[in-house]
């Protein structure tokens, strides 16, 4: 079952932080209720809109998603470690990911989903 009550995948023509979704992922990307992400991730270089300060974060694989679960604040954990916490809620988000990563998204201190990318395809 797709996790459409929590989030959606942006359309291929949408632009997030200066990159078209079609340049980040294939149109086959899906997220299931258990957080499993499947589909094709494209290798990206020069993604300065993701993090203009850190050249190392401007290359890799990126996961764009739109939160439909609304709230006031949100927090992210990467591989069980706190990342951004209690930041203002925003619908459109992009994570830099690898096949071994997990990302937990919380909205208003309530855990919403934990993404895992082990079943996704990462292009060379």
Question: What's the confidence (pLDDT) of residue 5?
Answer: 79
Spatial distance between the Cα atoms of 21 and 63, rounded to a whole number of angstroms: 9
Q: Would the CA dihedral through 80, 105, 85, 100 be positive or negative? A: positive
Q: Which of these, 110, 62, 60, 106, lies nearest to 82 by C-alpha position?
A: 106
15 DSSP β-pair partners:
20
For 35-72, the pLDDT digits (tens) are: 999 999 999 999 999 999 999 999 999 999 999 999 99
Q: Would the CA dihedral through 95, 48, 25, 21 be positive or negative? A: positive
31 DSSP β-pair partners:
37
- Whole-model pTM? 0.94
Spatial distance between the Cα atoms of 7 and 77, rounded to a whole number of angstroms: 17
For 60-107, the pLDDT digits (tens) are: 999 999 999 999 999 999 999 999 999 999 999 999 999 999 999 999
């Amino acid at each position: 079952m797709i996790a459409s009550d929590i989030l959606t995948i942006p359309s291929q023509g949408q632009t997030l932080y200066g990159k078209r979704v079609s340049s980040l992922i294939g149109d086959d990307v899906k997220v299931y209720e258990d957080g499993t992400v499947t589909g094709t991730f494209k290798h990206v270089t020069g993604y300065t809109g993701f993090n203009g300060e850190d050249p190392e974060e401007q290359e890799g694989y990126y996961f764009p998603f739109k939160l439909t679960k609304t709230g006031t604040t949100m927090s992210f954990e990467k591989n069980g470690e706190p990342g951004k916490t209690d930041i203002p809620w925003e619908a459109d988000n992009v994570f830099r990911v690898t096949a071994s990563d997990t990302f937990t998204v919380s909205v208003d201190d309530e855990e919403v989903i934990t993404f895992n990318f082990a079943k996704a395809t990462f292009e060379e």
